[in-house]
Structures are given as structure tokens and as C-alpha cells.
């Protein structure tokens, strides 16, 4: 698990005691930091084919919010895309929302890169393929996704 901890540290997510796998979320979650207001904030991380999807989560009374989402290239550690919600205006958290926003961000990234290269791509087809890849990754056990990505990166 040392290689996995090193991978999390590269993205500012972990010390060995601060991140754990949540079976109910099928994601790696950080220890939430509580504030006097009663709210708490933490992160969740998921892996999908060379990508790390980092979710910034707010736990309020009585709802959980997605405050932001960042997608990183695992190999280069480069931030590829992000969506940040304004303070106190986060979206109600759900795994489906994370997949939807991730699909939108990655589709836009691919279409923009193709356009910059003078290539035309069918936007609905790109979105469908991205969605299928994310569905597959989110359905798979994230411990296995992490291990697969660590091996592929040669950690």
C-alpha cells in the first residue's frame, strides 16, 4: 500500500491516517475537517483509466454538497479540468452528479483538443464514450482501479 499512499500524496490527498476506502461510496475519502458552524469538509478520490477524479465535499446540515471537482492526469499530475461551485452554492452531492460533471468536463477537453488540432469529432459520440468509460470505472471496485493505475504507472 506504500505505492498507493505515495500516489495520493502526489495529489495532496493523504497521510497514511487521513485517507481510507469507503465501501459505501466506492471511493477513497479523506478525514473530514469539522468547523464550529457544524459543517465539515473533505475530499473523495476515484480512479478511471489514468485519471484521478478529486471531489471536494461539504457535509452540512442536513445535506451533502459537491463543492468542486478536479480531474488530474495520473502520469503528469497535470490538472486537466475542474468545476468549482461558488461558496454556499454547491450542488447536492451524488455519485451520478460526479459522473455527469466528469463526463461533461472530459468531453469538453477532448473536443477542444481536437478542434485545436483541426480535427472534427462527433460531440454526442465522444460524450457517450467518455460516459461509458466512467460508468465502467465507477462500477468497478476502486481499490482494484487504484492498483491497476499504480501498476500502469510503474509506481
**Contact of 49 with 72, CB cutoff 8 Å:** no
Alpha-carbon span 67 to 8, nearest angstrom: 20
* pLDDT number for residue 90: 67
* pLDDT number for residue 30: 86
pLDDT > 70: percent of the chain: 85
pLDDT at 154 over 80: no
pLDDT at 120 over 70: yes
pLDDT at 109 over 60: yes
Query: Domains of the chain: which residue ranges?
Result: 2-153
Alpha-carbon span 26 to 5, nearest angstrom: 17
pLDDT at 89 over 70: no
Mean of the pLDDT values across residues 117-123? 95
Q: SS3 for the chain, per residue?
A: CHHHHHHHHHCCCCCCCCEEEECCCCEEEECCEECCCCCEEEEEEEEECCEEEEEEEEECCCCEEEEEEEEEECCCCCEEEEEECCCCCCEECCHHHHHHHHHHHHHHHHHHHHHHCCCCCCHHHHHHHHHHHHHHHHHCCHHHHHHHHHHHHCC
* pLDDT number for residue 48: 93
Amino acid at each position: 500500500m506504500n505505492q498507493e499512499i505515495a500516489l495520493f500524496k502526489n495529489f495532496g490527498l493523504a497521510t497514511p491516517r487521513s485517507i481510507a476506502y469507503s465501501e459505501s461510496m466506492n471511493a477513497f475519502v479523506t478525514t473530514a475537517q469539522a468547523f464550529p458552524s457544524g459543517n465539515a469538509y473533505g475530499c473523495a478520490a476515484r480512479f478511471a483509466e489514468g485519471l484521478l477524479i478529486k471531489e471536494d465535499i461539504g457535509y452540512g446540515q442536513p445535506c451533502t454538497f459537491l463543492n468542486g471537482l478536479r480531474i488530474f492526469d495520473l502520469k503528469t499530475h497535470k490538472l486537466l479540468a475542474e468545476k468549482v461551485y461558488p461558496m454556499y452554492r454547491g450542488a447536492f452531492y451524488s455519485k451520478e452528479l460526479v459522473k455527469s460533471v466528469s463526463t461533461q468536463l472530459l468531453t469538453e477537453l477532448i473536443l477542444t483538443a481536437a478542434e485545436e488540432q483541426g480535427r472534427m469529432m462527433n460531440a454526442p459520440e465522444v460524450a457517450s464514450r467518455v460516459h461509458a468509460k466512467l460508468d465502467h470505472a465507477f462500477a468497478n471496485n476502486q481499490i482494484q482501479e487504484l492498483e491497476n493505475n499504480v501498476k500502469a504507472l510503474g509506481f
